[in-house]
Amino acid sequence: DTEVTQTPKHLVMGMTNKKSLKCEQHMGHRAMYWYKQKAKKPPELMFVYSYEKLSINESVPSRFSPECPNSSLLNLHLHALQPEDSALYLCASSQGRGDSNEKLFFGSGTQLSVL
């Protein structure tokens, strides 16, 4: 199994809603990532979890709250988002063991629209 699975594929939410994005991998990877991608732009790193601990937060607003309940799951909790937060949210995972063979595997993303 070399897949990273993200749900839902599409999400429309109002600015007062609370929703969550989910990501799952069963490759035994110990690093997991959240990226935000606007149309026609490269992905922007938001968060990195290493061995279920938050290791990198790229100055992301607190309305985005990540959670890593176990080594296979990664959530992104959303609250009070703004229309400019509309984007494709990508999850990725990698071995995270510090060797030269590191590479990222990406999910298909959640297309989020904030109204």
Binding site for other proteins (CB under 8 A): 4, 6, 31, 40-43, 45, 48, 50, 55-56, 88, 90, 92, 94, 96, 98, 100-109, 111
109 or 114, CB closer to other proteins?
A: 109
Q: Which is nearer to other proteins, 8 or 102 (CB)?
A: 102
State in angstroms the smallest separation of the CB of 16 from other proteins: 27
Neighbours of 11 (CB within 10 A): 18
Least CB distance to other proteins at residue 34 (A): 13
H or E element that contains 92: strand 87-94
CB-wise, 79 or 108, nearer to other proteins?
108
What are the angstrom distances between the C-alpha of 13 and each of 18, 27, 114?
A: 8, 31, 5
Cα separations (Å) of 70 from 74, 83, 94? 8, 31, 15
